[in-house]
Structure 1
Amino acid sequence: MPLHPLGRTWADTLREDREAVLLADSLGFHDAFIGEHLTDQHENITNSLLFLATLIHQTSQIRLGTGTTNLSQQHPVLVAANSAMFDHMSDGRFILGISPGALSSDAEALGLLDEDRNKMFAESVDVITAVWASDPPYDIAFPDNRWPVSTARTIDLDLGVGVLPKTLQQPRPEIVGTVVAPFSKGVIAMGQRDFHPLSANFLLPQWVKTHWPNYVQGKSDVDQVADPADWRIARTILVADDAATARRYAIDDPASPYRFYYSQMLTKMRKLGRLELFKTHRDQPDDEVTLEGVLEALVVHGTPGSVAEQLLAFREEVGEFGEVVYAGLDWVDPGLARRSMDLMATKVVPEMEAAGA
């Protein structure tokens, strides 16, 4: 979810976001998640699946994930069918990342502002997974679900109509849900449904660690054992060849994309009444939450050895997990941005692996 500053052309920021994924592919990054918003000038990818489709034939190994598809904003049959086509086009490199669609201005533009988007999300998930698991003419009609699905009145198998596409990956692609709230109850449902959690990069470690027990509970509810390899945690990371450069670009420079990102996030969360995401304890006064404090707490920066050390300490604090998700930001300095990703892949990860992570 890179936050691009106003003033850059849309084509330029889209080109830069594509370059980041292409670089990640060449460096051996495991997957790339792309977000979507309709009405945000800073987060300006409107359809993550459409954006990712432009990368299929220029990438070779990286898995391509929606990060996320906002399920309240389109009919679940469209999500199921378009995702299935993408899965085939990408030769099974597709991951479906899902969320309700939290941006209220998107909801207002679509006439959904007064709808229960969390309920729509849950209903949509049921329909999508049922479409992939069912055969035509379909009889998908859950109690109180607004999206019943059938082709019984129009199916003609001789003509090949009335049949929704299946995914290449069977029984379905991996489904990943982003987790933002501390102690999120949604993680319990993820465990019950065998969806995989991705904890947000703007959460303090003490809130990140609350996600895993709930996932374990969800798995236990269906007599399964939770696998830490299925847990992704996003972090905001800057790796540089020297500590001074890292400090300047990540924290001190007024033009730092990290400073811009967290300034935007703080402003948004204050407006939404969700400032607790940045608090060290839930009763911390609002005026104690400062941009400087957030930057110091949440931006992992330094030389490769230092970053590896910080990430290993983070892992020690929150517990075992499967994947560090490197948060994307605007490339204010393309050289430093590219170098950071390079050092992350070629220096930091090997050091972590050597330490047993």
Structure 2
Amino acid sequence: MAGRKLRFGAFIAPFHPLRENPTLALERDIELVQHMDRLGYDEAWIGEHHSAGYELIASPELFIATVAERTKHIRLGTGVSSLPYHHPLMLADRINQLDHITRGRVMLGCGPGALPSDAFMMGIPVSAQRDRMDEALDVIVALLRGEEVSKKTDWFELNEARLQMNPYSRPSVEICAASQVSPTGAKACGRHGIGMLSIGATQSGGFNALASNWAIAEESAADNGKTVDRNNWRLVGPVHIAATREEARAQVRFGLEDWLYYFREVAALPLAPSDGSDPVDALVNSGMAVIGTPDDAIAQIERLEKQSGGFGAFLMMDHNWAEWDNKKKSYELFARYVAPKFQGLNENRETSLKWAAENRPRFIGEAMAAVGMRVAQHIQEKGTDNIRPEILAAMGMDKKPE
């Protein structure tokens, strides 16, 4: 009987260094999702950023509308929409429209906003972002379920607001809230009974908080008369794989330093050593990233399953560490050799192969007996005098029977 099927996808911020043509970089992001769709990936989540020059997609909704026309199966999520940056009715209306034009392939990922520089440009106090996310999420969830909402806060107002169309997906578009180390996202997930998106699942703080954040989500859900489902929990971590570890390590040298520079100097996350040691060693040895083979990726996912207690999807953080062809090959290797391990794709094949091998003597015997019967029947019908010598030889009869 078929069992649980873990889903796979990518979390595409994206990260593009300043030395590249930004138009071509965006086109490659679109091509990547097309590539994933052909390979059978389940999901792609698209980020929203407005400053700092690396994470180039300002509107995940525009990106999703574009790539939806160029793909067939893959589901497309906002990864994530920064709720304090949008009037909640406007955002809900755009997502609802995408739900219809994609025939239910869109998902809404929510967060407070990752870059303080974005909030600064819009005059939004960083200290207010998480409160505003909670306020917006309260009404967006209701609106996307077709409900009427009236609410006034210090930054938005809704008067008998409702979306013009009921959702295409029932009862609603799938909604997830971002979670890292703090309990903010986990509490929001539980309060509304929505999915959780653990963006920093392989960083030490995020990894250590996996089990506790899920427990917080369950507790919050119980307090609010909701339930949460591990199948709607997504974990994110960087992966680059090749045929050998040596090849993978050599390939990521192409763009790793650009990525590390961005996090050291702009995003201010301690992802690389400052003592001059090899950053590849640091990322691999800490468990932050997989830079190796399909077997290394399998081991990372098993490690995450053990730590978390189980989840529904693993998303590779897209990073552009390797050149384009090597990056696409990494995604292909993952789809060919990693995903089947967790999706039970070959269980029946293995059972069928074992059954055929174990019964080979019986099957071969029956096949040879069937051939012998046909040979005897043919000879009886034609007589050996009317059969050419080479045919007799093929039948194992080098001379005519006396």
Q: TM-score, normalised by structure 1?
A: 0.83
Contact 2:195 / 2:229 at 8 angstroms: preserved in 1?
no
* CA RMSD of superposed structures (Å): 3.0
Partner of 1:198: 197
Matches of 2:83 and 2:194, distance apart in 1 = 15
Partner SS state of residue 306, structure 1: helix
Q: How far 1:92 moved relative to its partner?
A: 0.6
Matches of 1:301 and 1:341, distance apart in 2 = 13
One of 298, 306, 330 as aligned partner of 1:308? 298
Is 2:96 the counterpart of 1:96?
A: no
Partner of 1:230: 232
What amino acid maps onto 1:174 in structure 2? E
What amino acid maps onto 2:183 in structure 1? S
Partner of 1:179: 179
What amino acid maps onto 2:238 in structure 1? T
> Aligned pair in 2 of structure 1 residues 289, 120: CA closer, same or farther (>3 Å)?
farther
Partner of 1:283: none
> Aligned pair in 2 of structure 1 residues 68, 185: CA closer, same or farther (>3 Å)?
closer
Q: How far 1:149 moved relative to its partner?
A: 1.9
Deviation readout 1:105-128 (Å, 9 max, x if unpaired): 111221224671222211211222
Contact 2:143 / 2:149 at 8 angstroms: preserved in 1?
no
Partner SS state of residue 67, structure 1: strand
Partner of 2:375: none
What amino acid maps onto 1:265 in structure 2? F
Partner of 1:299: 289
Q: How far 1:195 moved relative to its partner?
A: 1.6
Partner of 1:31: 43
Partner SS state of residue 140, structure 1: strand
Partner of 1:110: 122
For residues 265-304 of structure 1, what are the structure 2 equivalents within 5 Å?
265-270=263-268, 275=270, 291=279, 293-297=282-286, 298-304=288-294
Deviation readout 1:185-224 (Å, 9 max, x if unpaired): 4302211211211112452232334322222222232355
Is 2:178 the counterpart of 1:214?
A: no
- Matched-pair identity in %: 26
What amino acid maps onto 1:264 in structure 2? Y
What amino acid maps onto 1:311 in structure 2? I
One of 132, 150, 155 as aligned partner of 1:140? 150
Q: How far 1:289 moved relative to its partner?
A: 11
Partner of 2:6: none
Partner of 2:68: 56
* Deviates most, 41-50 or 192-201: 192-201
Deviation readout 1:334-357 (Å, 9 max, x if unpaired): 12101110111111111234599x
Matches of 2:277 and 2:244, distance apart in 1 = 29
Contact 1:83 / 1:167 at 8 angstroms: preserved in 2?
no
Partner of 1:123: 135
Is 2:313 the counterpart of 1:323?
A: yes
One of 11, 19, 25 as aligned partner of 2:23? 11
Contact 2:234 / 2:312 at 8 angstroms: preserved in 1?
yes
Partner of 1:149: 158
Matches of 1:215 and 1:22, distance apart in 2 = 34
Is 2:334 the counterpart of 1:344?
A: yes
Partner of 1:155: none
Q: How far 1:259 moved relative to its partner?
A: 4.3
Matches of 2:246 and 2:226, distance apart in 1 = 47
* Deviates most, 120-129 or 44-53: 120-129
Where does the alignment leave 5 or more consecutive residues of structure 1 unmatched? 153-161, 280-285
What amino acid maps onto 2:178 in structure 1? T
Partner SS state of residue 196, structure 2: strand
Question: How many residue pairs are counted as aligned between the two chains?
Answer: 330
Q: How far 1:228 moved relative to its partner?
A: 1.8
> Aligned pair in 2 of structure 1 residues 111, 237: CA closer, same or farther (>3 Å)?
same
Partner of 2:85: 73
* Deviates most, 308-317 or 94-103: 308-317
What amino acid maps onto 1:9 in structure 2? N
Contact 1:240 / 1:340 at 8 angstroms: preserved in 2?
yes
Contact 1:243 / 1:303 at 8 angstroms: preserved in 2?
yes
Contact 2:141 / 2:192 at 8 angstroms: preserved in 1?
no
Matches of 2:226 and 2:277, distance apart in 1 = 40
Partner SS state of residue 113, structure 2: coil
Contact 1:312 / 1:352 at 8 angstroms: preserved in 2?
no
Contact 2:251 / 2:321 at 8 angstroms: preserved in 1?
no
Partner of 2:244: 242
> Aligned pair in 2 of structure 1 residues 93, 121: CA closer, same or farther (>3 Å)?
same
Partner SS state of residue 150, structure 1: strand
> Aligned pair in 2 of structure 1 residues 290, 133: CA closer, same or farther (>3 Å)?
same
Contact 2:193 / 2:226 at 8 angstroms: preserved in 1?
no
Q: TM-score, normalised by structure 2?
A: 0.74
> Aligned pair in 2 of structure 1 residues 225, 71: CA closer, same or farther (>3 Å)?
closer
Q: How far 1:269 moved relative to its partner?
A: 5.0
